Amino acid sequence: MRAGRPVPGLSRPAGLGREEPGLIAAPGLTAAITIVTIALTAGVFAAVADHAALESIQRLDDAWLRLMISGRTAPVTDIARVFNLLGLVYVTLPVRIAVAGFLIWRRRWWSLAAFVTAVALSEVLIGVLKGAYSRARPSASLVATTGMSFPSGHAIAASVTAVAAVIALMPAGRRAWWAAAAVAFSILMGLSRAYLGAHWLSDAVAGILLGTSCALLAALVVGELQRRSTRRPPPVAAPRPAGAPPPDRAGRRRGPP
C-alpha cells in the first residue's frame, strides 16, 4: 500500500472539502412564502387572542369536534393514535438527533444551523405561547394530554421537524415533492389531534403554521448568512511596476512607440 493512499472504507465522506451547496436557491420566492406564512400565523394568533373573535372560533371548534366524534371509526382512530405516538418526544427527539448527526457527518454546517435554529425556536415558542394563551383543552380526549391547548405542540413539532428536515437534507432544486409530503404530514398530524379530541381545530391550525414559519424563517436567515459569507470579493489588479507603460483597453501593456 502506497503512503498517502486512502484506505478503502475510511476515506472522507462525500462532499468533505467541497463548498456546501446553497441552502436557498430562490431567495425572493422563499422570502415571499415565508412572509405569507408568518402573516397567516400572526393572524390566527391575533384572532385567538381577541375575545370577540375567539367566540366565533370556539363555535367552529365545537362544531368540528362534534363532527369528529360522530364520525369516529375504529380504523381511523387507530391511525390517529399512531400519529399521536409519532408526535411524542420519544419519537421526534431521536429523529431530530439523527438528522443533525447526518448533517454533521456530511459537514453541512449551514444546513445544520438552519435545522437546529428552527427546532430551537419552535421549542422556545411552544412553552411561551401555551403559557400566554392558557387555553383549556377539550374535555373528552381519547389520548393522554398535559398542559394547555393552544397551540398544538404535536402540530408544531411535526411541521417544524418535517419542513426543516426537507430544507436541510434535500438539494434546493429537488424539494418540491418532499416539501409537499412534509406539509401533508403536518396537516394529518394536526387533524389527528382534533379528531382525538386532544386539541381544538384552531390549536392544530396554529401549530402547523407556527412550525412551518419557524422552519422557513430559519432557512431564510441562515441562507442569507451563507450567501454573504461565500460571496467572493472582486479581483484586485496587480500593481504596475514603476516606469511600466499603462495597459491599453484590452488589458495589454503598450510597448514603446
Q: How far apart are CA 142 and CA 139, in angstroms?
A: 10
Residue type present at position 253: R
What is the pLDDT at residue 18?
Answer: 64
What is the pLDDT at residue 22?
Answer: 83
Asked if 165 contacts 119 with a C-beta cutoff of 8 angstroms, the reply is: no
Angle at 240 between CA 236 and CA 241, to 5 degrees: 145
- Of the pLDDT bands very low, low, confident and very high (cuts 50, 70, 90), residue 1 is very low
For residue 247, the SS3 value is strand
What is the pLDDT at residue 253?
Answer: 52
What is the pLDDT at residue 248?
Answer: 57
Task: Enter the pTM of the model.
Answer: 0.82
Percent of the chain whose pLDDT exceeds 90:
72
The architecture (CATH level 2) of 27-139+147-227 comes to Up-down Bundle (1.20)
Mean pLDDT of the chain: 87
Q: Which three cell numbers stand for residue 22?
A: 446553497
Task: Report, as an integer, the average pLDDT of 13-26.
Answer: 68
What is the pLDDT at residue 149?
Answer: 93
What is the pLDDT at residue 252?
Answer: 54
Q: Which three cell numbers stand for residue 168?
A: 436541510
Q: How far apart are CA 257 and CA 172, in angstroms?
A: 56
Task: Report, as an integer, the average pLDDT of 219-238.
Answer: 79
Closest CA to 61 of 211, 202, 248, 252: 202
Residue 240 reports pLDDT greater than 70: no
Residue 14 reports pLDDT greater than 80: no
